[in-house]
Amino acid sequence: MDDYSYPGRPAIVNWFARQLIDNYHKRNYEHVMSLLDPDTTVFLGDLFDGGRNWNDLDWFEEFRRFNEIYYKRPNRRTIMSLPGNHDIGFGETVNVTSLERFKAIFGPTSSIHDIGNHTLVLLDTISLSDYQNPNVTRDPLTVLNSLAPISTNEKPRILMSHVPLYRFPDKQTCGPLRESTKKFPIMKGEQYQTVIDYELSQEVLSKIRPKIVFSGDDHDYCHVTHPYKSQGVDQTADEITVKSCSMNMGVQYPAIQLLSLNTHDDETRETYETQMCYLPAPYAALKGYLFTLIFNISFFAFVFLLPRSYNAIVDRTLDKLGSITNKYDLPVAHQKVGLPQVFERDLVGMTTTSVITAISVLVVFSVYFGAF
């Protein structure tokens, strides 16, 4: 989230939202890196919300903030070079300046990596969707065509793209792990398209011949199987559209996708396993703060506005406790001693207590969410 995300909101609301979201991302990232300790971490694009529209000054400020959350770990591979439409635009509307800046900082937007006895292909299908500017399509087209020839010692290939490949939602449903009950959307608009064109999708599949495809952009999970032809032979490839890991992307349960690559030589077994890993409930802590706030306000209002009722409740409670604890007291201890009663509305005391409580909650909030 950045200033581009919700331009109509008050600045203070956006500031608090950024603290919540950044803290959620950073805590989850640190926990995942510590618990799973992945050898390679791949980001599937849309690193920034308004990256395609920013000048260099704003972009590098958000880049600094991004690195504070998603820092690169020593002796581990982190790949962030796959752009999303929020980073560079889409197709004929790709912002060339934003594209070149992205490449200069993160590296080539299309690349090939040998990982775990597999060939990992990151393909910038966004730039590949530009049918007018050959300077934009040159690099991803070079990578795509380099993989077209069939080799006898070809390793299993895994394709990663920001925008999902084309599918027919009526036939290719997303499966039970998708939150939304609606069909996968097929639409396009200014600087976005929910799927790559059908012809381009088939060309990508036929030339890369992936075992599995991972994509992003949609924010929700979707698992489909694509039929295609390669060298005249019918083939299929699964595609998993990975769920968003963010708390503000319209999904109730954010998640990441874990991919394990096997290096065995048994051709009868699959060479990979993948599993969606849910992240902690994003609004649990915030709901706890809101509940505490409402409870404290209600309690203070009750004490301040209805002191007689409050004192009566306290008296009855103390009497009940006294009847239990004083069961074996000497007779002299049974003499009832009246407690001091306060029936005035103590505005100064109420205000002081409220301010102290508010400051205490704010301090805890700021420490937990890293606001200051």
Q: Which of 56-60, 135-139, 355-359 is least confident?
A: 355-359
Q: How many CB atoms lie within 10 A of CB 293?
A: 13
Q: Which residues pair with 119 in a beta bridge?
A: 114, 157
pLDDT of 80 > 90? The answer is: yes
Residue carrying structure tokens 């395609």: 52
- E strand map for the chain: 40-42, 77-79, 111-115, 118-122, 157-161, 188-189, 192-193, 212-215, 222-230, 233-241, 255-261, 272-278
User: In the prediction, which pLDDT does 35 show?
Assistant: 94
The answer to whether residues 113 and 159 touch, using CB atoms and an 8 Å cutoff, is no
Residue intervals of the chain classified under CATH 3.60.21 are 11-281
pLDDT tens-digit series, residues 243-271: 999 998 889 999 999 999 987 666 667 89
Return the CATH number of the domain spanning residue range 11-281: 3.60.21
Q: What is the mean pLDDT of the chain?
A: 88
The whole-number pLDDT of residue 173 equals: 96
More confident residue, 136 or 323: 136
Q: Is residue 107 over pLDDT 50?
A: yes
Q: Are 195 and 163 in contact (CB under 8 A)?
A: yes
HSE-up (13 A, CA, CB side) for residue 286: 12
Q: Please give the model's pTM, rounded to 2 decimal places.
A: 0.83
- The torsion defined by the Cα of 140, 216, 274 and 252, in degrees rounded to 10, comes to 170
For 108-138, the pLDDT digits (tens) are 999 999 999 999 999 999 999 999 999 999 9
Identify the residue with better confidence: 231 or 90. Answer: 90
Query: In angstroms, what CA-CA distances link 362 with 209, 211, 283, 356?
Result: 54, 50, 17, 10
* Chain centroid offset of residue 232 CA: 40
Q: So what's the pLDDT on residue 317?
A: 83
